[in-house]
């Protein structure tokens, strides 16, 4: 893993300044940061919070795999930040960061999209929504493929 990458699962709030600092590089004219944020409704049900759980060691290994794959696809210099929160998050909190930086925007957009879509189907993370009426529900997801 290049020293500049940040690839981790954390129970702590995400520091966007640290994300931008990690992506900064005088060679790079493009920086793209996607933030996944807990929203207040899902399938018509008011949501108060979401609890995230992860198999951290494999999630971080998968982050590393994804960074390597996307770097091979881009074929040029690229910085990658992948962070996923765990624990109970309130509406409006950042759950996920997919950050990339590269010399030009085209690599950034393609890399960001690839990382985000792969994260959602390959990284072992689960979420339980907590509703306004006190109920909770684990959300359905995508089966992992060996």
Q: What residues numbered 102-131 form the site for another protein, per CB under 8 A?
A: 116, 119-128
DSSP code per residue over 43-98: TTEEEEEEEEEE-HHHHHHHHHHHHHHHHHHH-S--EEEEEEE-EEEETT-EEEEE
Token digits for 52? Answer: 């995230």
Closest contact distance (angstroms) between CB of 126 and another protein is 4
- Altogether, the residues listed in the chain come to a count of 146
Q: Is 68 left (phi over 0), alpha (psi -120 to 50) or beta?
A: alpha
Q: Which of 9, 98, 95, 94 is nearest to 58 (CA)?
A: 9
Tokens 């900064």 appear where?
24
Size of the site for another protein (CB under 8 A): 32
Q: Which residue of 22, 49, 54, 70 would you call a contact of another protein, by CB under 8 A?
A: 54
Could you tell me which stretch among 11-19, 24-32, 51-59, 101-109 binds another protein (CB under 8 A)? 51-59
CB 100 within 8 A of CB 111: yes
Provide, rounded to whole angstroms, the least separation between the CB of residue 145 and another protein.
7
Q: Per CB under 8 A, does 100 bind another protein? A: no
Does position 144 interact with another protein (CB under 8 A)? The reply is yes
Out of 7, 28, 52, 74, the only residue in the binding site for another protein (CB under 8 A) is: 52
Residue 142 contacts another protein per CB under 8 A:
yes
Binding residues for another protein, per CB under 8 A?
36, 52-55, 57-59, 61, 84, 95-96, 116, 119-128, 138-146
């Amino acid at each position: 893993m290049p020293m500049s990458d940040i690839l981790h699962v954390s129970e702590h709030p995400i520091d966007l300044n640290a994300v931008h600092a990690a992506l900064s590089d005088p060679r790079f004219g493009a920086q793209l940061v996607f933030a996944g944020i807990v929203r207040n409704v899902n399938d018509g049900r008011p949501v108060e919070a979401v609890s995230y759980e992860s198999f951290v060691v494999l999630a971080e290994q998968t982050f590393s795999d994804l960074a390597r794959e996307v770097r091979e696809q881009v074929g040029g210099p690229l910085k990658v930040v992948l962070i996923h929160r765990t624990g109970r998050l309130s509406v409006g909190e950042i759950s996920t960061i997919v950050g990339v930086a590269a010399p030009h925007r085209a690599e950034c957009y393609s890399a960001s999209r690839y990382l985000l879509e792969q994260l959602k189907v390959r990284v072992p993370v689960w979420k339980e929504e907590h509703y306004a009426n006190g109920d909770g529900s684990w959300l359905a997801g995508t089966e992992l493929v060996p």
